Structure 1
C-alpha cells in the first residue's frame, strides 16, 4: 500500500516535475495530509503553494484557498490548469453564468482547489454551500494579514477563526513569508491555531543583493542603477504617493523604458490591465504604491527599487521579496532621505490610533531606520529582526561589498542640537540648516536668528551633508519631529546629556555614501548565464516558442515553463520524452501538452 509520503513524492515529480522537496515541505505536507493544522513561514519563492496543493490532490474533497487579492487568482489557477489540476476561483471578475458553473463543479466534487477572497468566504450563502460540500482543507494564504500590527492588515482575516469552529474536522494551513514574533503570536491566537504544527524556515534570500543609499537626486540615482544593472529587466519601483507613481512612470517612459503606473486611484480595469501586462511581458517596469504586489508569482522580477522609506521591516522584506523568486541574482535597492524619516513619524503621530498602537508602530519605524543607518551587514540585521541568526556577514549587501566610512560626529551633533534649542524648537530641519550654514534669509533676519551664537557655525559641511546628519540624529533618537508642528524638530531626553556635554560617549555617524553612478557595475546574471553561445541561441528560441504558446492561451509565459527550465533544456538538449521528463519543472501533464513541440525545437536546432 502506498503511503501518503510516497503519494506526495509521486505527485511532486509527476505533476510538478520536481525531484525533491525543499525546506520543510515534506513535513508540512505530511502533517496536513494526516489532518493536523499547520502554520508555516517560508520565504517568497520557497514553495509555499506546494505545501497545500499536494495535500489537496491526496485528501478527499476540494481545498478552499483563501487569498487576499482577486487580481492574482486567475494566474494561480492558470498555472494549476497547465499542470492538469482541476482548479477554479470565485470572485467578482466572473459573470453570473461563470459563477454558477464553478459552484456546480464545487457541489459535484469536480474541483481539487477553489480560490476565493476572505470576504466571499464569510458570506452566509457561501458558507451554507460549503456546509454541503466535501472540503479537504483550508489554506489561508498571506496569513500575516490577520495582524493589526502588520503592514497588510485586513479585518476579515480576523474572522477566519470561525473555520475552526464550523469545520472542526477540516485541517487548516496558514502561510506567510513575513511575520516577526509578535505577528506569529497573533496569527496563532486570531486563527485558533494553538494545536498547529509550526514550521519556520529561514527568512534568508541569499540571491538578493541589498543596497540602501541616501537620496540626493533620487531619479538620477535610480536611472544609474537601472542602466548599470537592469537595462532590459523586469522590475518594480515603489513610490510613496500616487502623484510620484504617475510622474516616475512618465519619466521612465521618456527615458526609453516601458513603465506602467499602478495605484488605488486608477480604475480597476486599468490596474488589472497593467498587472496582466507586467506578468505577461518581458522587461516591463511597474511603478507602484504598496497597493501592488502581494502574492505576485512572476519569477523573473530582477529588481525591486524603493524611492521612499518603507514604514517597517516587514513591509520592506515583503516588497523586496518579490525580486528573484526563481533563485537567480536580483537587487533590492532603496534611496531615501530626511523627509522620509520625518513623514513616517508624522504619519504615525497624527493618526487616530490608540497610544499603544502608535508606540508599536514607532518601534517598527525605528527598526527600519536602524537597518538603513547601520554600518554592518544588512542581511544579518534583517534576519535578526525575524529572530534568525546569520553567523557571518553575507558578502552580498552594499555594506559588505563596500564598507561605509564612519566619523566622529560628536561636535557636529552638538552644533545641531544647540541650534535646534536656540531657535526655540519651533522649526524644521531646512530652517535650522540655513541658520547653521549662515544663510541670511528674510525669515532668519525677521526672527533675529542671524544674531544667535549658532549662526554660521556649520560652514564645514554642505547642506546635503547636514541633512544626512539630521536624518541620522533622528534615526538615533536625539531629535524627534513633532506631529503638531508639522515637522518641527524637538530635542529628546537622549539629547540633553550630549548637549550639556555630560555624555562621555562619542557620536559616530555614516559618511554620505558614494553616488550610485560610481558604484562598481555588477555582472549581469540570467537563467542562461552559464550557457555556451549555441546553447544561448537555443535558449532564446525556446523562449520565443514559449511566448507564442503563452499568447495563444492568454497566460503568463512562466506558467508554461520558467526560464530555469528552458535553460536546462538548452543545456541538456533532451531528444526523447523520457529525457525531457528529467528536466526540473517538466511533469507528465506538461510533457503531454508541450513535449513534442519543445523537443522538435531542440532537435531542429542541432
Structure 2
C-alpha cells in the first residue's frame, strides 16, 4: 500500500478504502498502479486472472472519484451478485435490468438522479437501448467500467454483439475514464478490445495469467462417469464444483447419475426453461457442496469464490475457453482442481467441427491455431503451465511442481516407426476410413469388411501385430493432436494425411509420444478446510454453520457474508475481541459491525487450537 507521507491524497484515500470497506491491508499485483491511473482520469485495458482482484480496480476509484461509476456487465446474475456483495460492505450500489420490478427500477433511477448511488451495474443493451445515456449526460459520471470485455471479440468464446456498440460511450462522454477488464484474451482479442472499446492512448495493465492455486490435470477418457465420480469422492466430497459437457443431453444425464450416487448435482444448459435455469443458478450460488453439470452456457456470470473444482468431460473448443472455464475454480485463492478427460473421439470431433466451418479461410486458420494450442496443452509431457501461459504471451520458466505432469512425469517412447506404418496404412486404404478400420488392417483382422475391399492384400495388412489395439488408438489420437492426421473434410468419419506428415514419412523427422497408462484411481487429497485446519475441524464446521445461518437470514449466498479464506483466518488466529477480528482479511468496517459479535460468540465456545 502507498505510504501516506508521500502518496497523493487520492491514492492515500484508496488505501484507506481498501482497508475500511473491503477489509484488506494491502493491494495485490498491479492493483495500486491501475487504481491510481484511473483515479487520475486515465483509460485502461486491464487483463487480470479470475480471482486476481479486477473488481477493486474500478470499485475503489468509484468511491474516490465524484459521481456514479457505471459498470457494464453482460449477465443479470453477475451484476446481482456483485451488487449484493457491495451492499454487505456498506457501498451504495444498484443495478438496472429487466429482472427488476418497475417500482425498484424507478426507485433506482430517482437515486441516480439524486446522486446517492456510487456504482450502477447495467447490461450493454440497457445502456444503449434506453434513455439511460440521456440521464447519465445530466449527472456527474465517475467512470465507465466494461467488464468481461472479451465479449467484444466476434470470434471469441463469449461474443456479445452489443459490446461492439459500446464505443459510443467515448463519443458521448469523451472526458470520463473508461476501463475494459477481462480475465482472458489472446493478442488478437486484446487488439479488438482496444480498437472497439478504448481510446488509442489507453494504458495496458497485463498481470500474470498464472493461477498458482489451481492444479491442472489431464487424463484419458475411458469410463468418464466413473472417473468423474472417483475424482469427486476422493478429492472434493461435499464441496462445490462445475462439470462441463459438450451436449445438453449429457448435462442432464450426468447430473441425474451423480445424484443417484450421493453427489448433489443440477443440470444447466441454454435449452432449459428460463425460470428453471435461474433457479438452478441461484441454488448453486447459495448452497454449499452442490455440483453444477453444464454446457458452456453456464459460468461467465459466476462469482462464487469457493468452487473447489472445474471438471471437463469433453474437450473445450480452444485453450482460451479452457482457461476461462477453469478460472471459475478457486477464486478465493485456496487450492482448487482443473480436471479434464478426453479421448480420440474428442479430438476427431473438434477437428471435424473446424473442417466443416463455413467461416472464411482467415478465421478457420486462426481457429486451427487455437485448437493446436489446446491439443498441445493436453498432449504435452512437460509442465503444463509454460504451454498454457505461453498462449497468452507470458513466459513461464521451469516447472510448477503442482500440475499432474510435474507430480507424476509421464513416460515417452520413440513412436516414429509405428507412426510411419500407421500413416502408410491410412494412405493405402484410400484416406477415407476411420480409426477402427485402419487398426483392423494393421492388426491383420480377418473380416468381411476388410476382404470385400481387398485390404487384406495391402502391404500394410498385419504389419502392426507387435502393438496392441489400445496402443494404436493412442498413436492415432496423438497423430491427430499433432496435426499429422486430419478428419475427412466430407464428414464421413475417415482419416487422411496432412501435409505436415511428409517429413515424418520420409524419415527426416523423429517422433516422441506419450505412453498412455491405464487410468488410476485419483489420490485422495484432504479437503481445503480439513487440510488447512486439521487441528480444528470442529471450529471450521461451527464457523461454516454460523455463516450459513446468517446467510439464510439475510437471503444472500454464504460467501457474501465471508469467504472461506476469512473463515480459515478465524480458525488460525482465533480472535477474542472486535479489534482482533477487524484485522482478519476480508473484514471491513461494515462487516465488522454486522457480523463481528456473532462470530466472536461462536469462537468463544470453541477451544483455541494454539492453546493445545
Category of TM-score, reference length = shorter chain: over 0.9
Aligned-pair distance for 1:220? 2.0
Quickly say closer, same or farther: Cα 1:385–1:113, change in 2 above 3 A. Answer: same
Question: 2:451 matched to which residue of 1?
Answer: 445
**Partner Cα distance (2:182, 2:585) in 1:** 25
Deviates more, 1:180-189 or 1:1-10: 1-10
**Partner Cα distance (1:206, 1:295) in 2:** 23
Aligned-pair distance for 1:285? 0.5
SS of the equivalent of 2:339 reads strand
Aligned-pair distance for 1:477? 1.8
Question: 2:558 matched to which residue of 1?
Answer: 557
Question: 1:431 matched to which residue of 2?
Answer: 437
Question: 1:45 matched to which residue of 2?
Answer: 51
Question: 2:162 matched to which residue of 1?
Answer: 156
**Partner Cα distance (2:513, 2:449) in 1:** 31
| Aligned partner (choices 264, 270, 275) of residue 269 of structure 1 | 275
Query: Is 1:351 aligned with 2:353?
Result: no
**Partner Cα distance (1:238, 1:527) in 2:** 25
Quickly say closer, same or farther: Cα 1:419–1:145, change in 2 above 3 A. Answer: same
Aligned-pair distance for 1:536? 2.9
Deviates more, 1:521-530 or 1:263-272: 521-530
**Partner Cα distance (2:42, 2:202) in 1:** 7
**Partner Cα distance (2:470, 2:148) in 1:** 40
Aligned-pair distance for 1:151? 1.3
| Aligned partner (choices 360, 373, 376) of residue 370 of structure 1 | 376
**Partner Cα distance (1:379, 1:339) in 2:** 25
Quickly say closer, same or farther: Cα 1:317–1:577, change in 2 above 3 A. Answer: same
**Partner Cα distance (1:531, 1:90) in 2:** 42
| Aligned partner (choices 508, 512, 530) of residue 508 of structure 1 | 512
Q: How many residues align?
A: 601
Question: 2:533 matched to which residue of 1?
Answer: 531
The superposition leaves residues 349-404 of structure 1 with CA deviations (integer Å, 9 ceiling, x where unpaired) of 22221111111001100111111111111011111111111221111111111111
Query: Is 1:483 aligned with 2:489?
Result: yes
Q: Kindly indicate whether the alpha-carbon contact (under 8 Å) linking 1:536 and 1:570 is maintained by their aligned counterparts in 2.
A: no
Deviates more, 1:447-456 or 1:27-36: 447-456
Q: CA RMSD in A?
A: 1.6
Aligned-pair distance for 1:532? 5.7
Query: Is 1:16 aligned with 2:22?
Result: yes
**Partner Cα distance (2:69, 2:447) in 1:** 68
SS of the equivalent of 1:327 reads coil
Aligned-pair distance for 1:441? 3.7
Question: 2:150 matched to which residue of 1?
Answer: 144
SS of the equivalent of 1:48 reads coil
| Aligned partner (choices 329, 333, 336) of residue 327 of structure 1 | 333
Written as runs of structure 1 = structure 2, the 5 A alignment for 1:95-110 is 95-110=101-116
Quickly say closer, same or farther: Cα 1:168–1:437, change in 2 above 3 A. Answer: same
SS of the equivalent of 2:45 reads strand
**Partner Cα distance (1:182, 1:212) in 2:** 27
Written as runs of structure 1 = structure 2, the 5 A alignment for 1:191-230 is 191-230=197-236
The superposition leaves residues 113-157 of structure 1 with CA deviations (integer Å, 9 ceiling, x where unpaired) of 111111111114222222223211111111111122321111111
SS of the equivalent of 1:529 reads helix
Query: Is 1:402 aligned with 2:408?
Result: yes
**Partner Cα distance (1:532, 1:186) in 2:** 48
Written as runs of structure 1 = structure 2, the 5 A alignment for 1:40-79 is 40-79=46-85
**Partner Cα distance (1:272, 1:463) in 2:** 46
The superposition leaves residues 20-62 of structure 1 with CA deviations (integer Å, 9 ceiling, x where unpaired) of 0001111111111111001111111011101100111111111
Deviates more, 1:434-443 or 1:352-361: 434-443
Question: 1:234 matched to which residue of 2?
Answer: 240
Question: 1:6 matched to which residue of 2?
Answer: 12
Question: 1:585 matched to which residue of 2?
Answer: 586
The superposition leaves residues 423-465 of structure 1 with CA deviations (integer Å, 9 ceiling, x where unpaired) of 1111122221222223334333322223322223222333332
Written as runs of structure 1 = structure 2, the 5 A alignment for 1:170-181 is 170-181=176-187
Written as runs of structure 1 = structure 2, the 5 A alignment for 1:284-303 is 284-303=290-309
Q: Kindly indicate whether the alpha-carbon contact (under 8 Å) linking 2:235 and 2:527 is maintained by their aligned counterparts in 1.
A: no
Deviates more, 1:152-161 or 1:222-231: 222-231
The superposition leaves residues 236-271 of structure 1 with CA deviations (integer Å, 9 ceiling, x where unpaired) of 111011111111111111111011001001011111
The superposition leaves residues 141-189 of structure 1 with CA deviations (integer Å, 9 ceiling, x where unpaired) of 1111112232111111111111111100110111111012222122111
Query: Is 1:318 aligned with 2:324?
Result: yes
TM-score using structure 2 length:
0.95
Q: Kindly indicate whether the alpha-carbon contact (under 8 Å) linking 2:43 and 2:198 is maintained by their aligned counterparts in 1.
A: no
**Partner Cα distance (1:556, 1:168) in 2:** 38
Aligned-pair distance for 1:85? 0.7
Quickly say closer, same or farther: Cα 1:192–1:52, change in 2 above 3 A. Answer: closer
Q: Kindly indicate whether the alpha-carbon contact (under 8 Å) linking 1:280 and 1:557 is maintained by their aligned counterparts in 2.
A: yes
User: Structure 1: any 5+ residue segments left out of the alignment?
Assistant: none
The superposition leaves residues 303-345 of structure 1 with CA deviations (integer Å, 9 ceiling, x where unpaired) of 1111111111111111111111111111111101111111112
SS of the equivalent of 2:300 reads coil
SS of the equivalent of 1:305 reads strand
**Partner Cα distance (2:262, 2:488) in 1:** 42
